[in-house]
Amino acid sequence: MTRICDIQCCACHTSPFDFHVCCVFNDATIVVMKFLRSNSSSEQRPREQHCMHHSNLARKWRSLSARTRRRIVLFIAFLVFILLLGYNLITSDIYLHQMSPLVSIHRRDRSRCCSTSTSSSDICGRPNCVWPCPSPPVEEYQHINAMQDNAFFHETSGASSLSFRQACVVESLAYRNPNLTVHLLMTARHLDLNALTIKTLSQNYPNLRLTSINLGDYVAGTPLERWYFCTEWYRGWFAVSHLSDALRFLTLSKYGGYYFDLDIIHLRPVTAYRNFIVPEDMTKLGSSVIHVDYQHQVIRMAVEEFAADYRWYSWAHNGPELITRVLQNWCNVYYISWMTLERCKGFHILPPTSFYPVHYKKWKEYFTNRDNNNKAEEKSYEWDEFVLGAHVWNSLSAGWKVHKNSNQLYVDIARSSCPRIFDVAPEEF
């Protein structure tokens, strides 16, 4: 088969090889040009059809009578109003009180206009209040001694007991640190002391204290009082998370000590470490693990920052990002890698692996069955003595089951760190 080349283009090439190369180049150019023309025409057709569709819609809209168009506009406005009203109802104070155990807040007594003996207006700035503000029953929390080594967990959902995974976390801290007073602060009005998890913990660990707190009384008279009673924080998308953020900073500002999330299983004693925080990675600090001495300036700054710059629409702004901003100011550096002990005036930034040995992107490694014949996989979980705890990422792993007779990594950790709860837990939890 013979091919015809452009003689004008290739006439200058004297050798047969050059002439052949020129012909191949011309053939390729023709193919590419045909492809581009077909592609542009195929894109143009949907665009023309789209424009015709819009013009048809506009023509139909103009063909309607003014009365019909007005009715359609009113119907759409009414539908938007119903949607906004529904959102307002779902995020209202009354509805949230009925959503237990998703969120539990007690604020009705002080959220209404009430006067004190020292001011003509209430804490929210409302004048001429008739009702007197109730005084918080401070004697309820006198058993929390700020002068001793305390550790705190918060259960803010309003549940009256703990799940087996939560109880495992509480036991692991009390078990690994017998000289530490472990406080479990729960927002439920009544605690179920006969629940299997609560009874097992109470009978085996004398260093554990259970306390039911009324959040309204707990927050009254603190820097977070105006935020709690005078703003509509509870209508936000992340109200439950932000309440948890507020309480951990407030509790540590009241009493000092350790705070841990209820999804960190403790592997080793922690009392040798003081005034520290742990980054999840080297981009921002985490707020799941904190220790501060009583009345430490860092935690005071955190509470003040929370009250002054609260943002209801941002999940991380009031928690991990807040404590990151505070430490950046305290250490006078921007990057976490620069936050040395000297720059941070004695405040420690522990390595991420101390409590996050498994990154959150790999959380399934806790719950998948391991290959016993794979020596490399088995060795990868032989953590050194600087791994103090294991964050198991409950927010991601809540739907995954723990099987007691399996070789899951979670099972190995729980069997050695919370033996009492592990014994009474069902075969699948």
In tens, the pLDDT along 99-117 reads 433 444 544 455 566 766 6
> Looking at the predicted structure, is the pLDDT value of residue 250 above 70?
yes
> Looking at the predicted structure, is the pLDDT value of residue 205 above 90?
yes
pLDDT at 254: 94
pLDDT at 97: 41
pLDDT at 63: 82
How much is the average pLDDT of 122-148?
69
- SS3 letters across 293-312: CCCCHHHHHHHHHHHHCCCC
Q: Which two three-digit tokens encode residue 288? A: 């799941």
> Looking at the predicted structure, is the pLDDT value of residue 4 above 50?
no
Where does the pLDDT of residue 16 fall: very low under 50, low under 70, confident under 90, or very high at 90 and above? very low
- The amino acid sitting at 24 is V
In degrees and rounded to multiples of 5, residue 212 shows phi and psi of -95, 125
The pTM of this model reads 0.73
- SS3 letters across 322-383: HHHHHHHHHHCCCCHHHCCCCCCCCCEECCHHHCCCCCHHHHHHHCCECCCCCHHHHHHCCC
Partner residues linked to 186 by β-bridges: 155, 212
> Looking at the predicted structure, is the pLDDT value of residue 317 above 70?
yes
What the chain holds in terms of domains, given with CATH numbers, is: 148-424 (3.90.550)
Q: Which two three-digit tokens encode residue 18? A: 């050059």
Strand arrangement, sheet containing 348-349: 208-212, 181-186, 150-155, 257-260, 285-292, 276-279, 348-349
Distance CA 288, CA 282 (A): 15
Where does the pLDDT of residue 89 fall: very low under 50, low under 70, confident under 90, or very high at 90 and above? low
Partner residues linked to 211 by β-bridges: 185
Comparing 213 with 372, the larger pLDDT belongs to: 213
Q: What angle do CA 310, 153, 331 make, to 5 degrees?
A: 50
> Looking at the predicted structure, is the pLDDT value of residue 38 above 80?
no
In degrees and rounded to multiples of 5, residue 322 shows phi and psi of -65, -50
How far apart, in Å, are the Cα atoms of 223 and each of 123, 249, 306? 11, 11, 9
Q: Which two three-digit tokens encode residue 97? A: 């009180």
Taking 3-state DSSP, the helix, strand and coil percentages for the chain, each rounded to the nearest 5, stand at 50, 10, 40
pLDDT at 293: 96
Partner residues linked to 154 by β-bridges: 185
Distance CA 77, CA 84 (A): 11
The model's pLDDT over 144-188, given as tens digits with 9 standing for 90+, comes to 887 789 999 999 888 899 999 999 999 999 999 999 999 999 988
27-31, 141-145, 194-198, 239-243 — which is least confidently predicted? Answer: 27-31
Where does the pLDDT of residue 87 fall: very low under 50, low under 70, confident under 90, or very high at 90 and above? low
Comparing 24 with 66, the larger pLDDT belongs to: 66
> Looking at the predicted structure, is the pLDDT value of residue 204 above 70?
yes
CB 171 within 8 A of CB 138: no
Distance CA 6, CA 22 (A): 9
How much is the average pLDDT of 128-150?
70
How much is the average pLDDT of 362-371?
88
pLDDT at 404: 94
Cis peptide before 101 (omega within 30 of 0): yes
How far apart, in Å, are the Cα atoms of 132 and each of 218, 228, 266, 345? 18, 18, 46, 44
CB 246 within 8 A of CB 227: yes
> Looking at the predicted structure, is the pLDDT value of residue 196 above 80?
yes
> Looking at the predicted structure, is the pLDDT value of residue 10 above 50?
no
- SS3 letters across 328-344: HHHHCCCCHHHCCCCCC
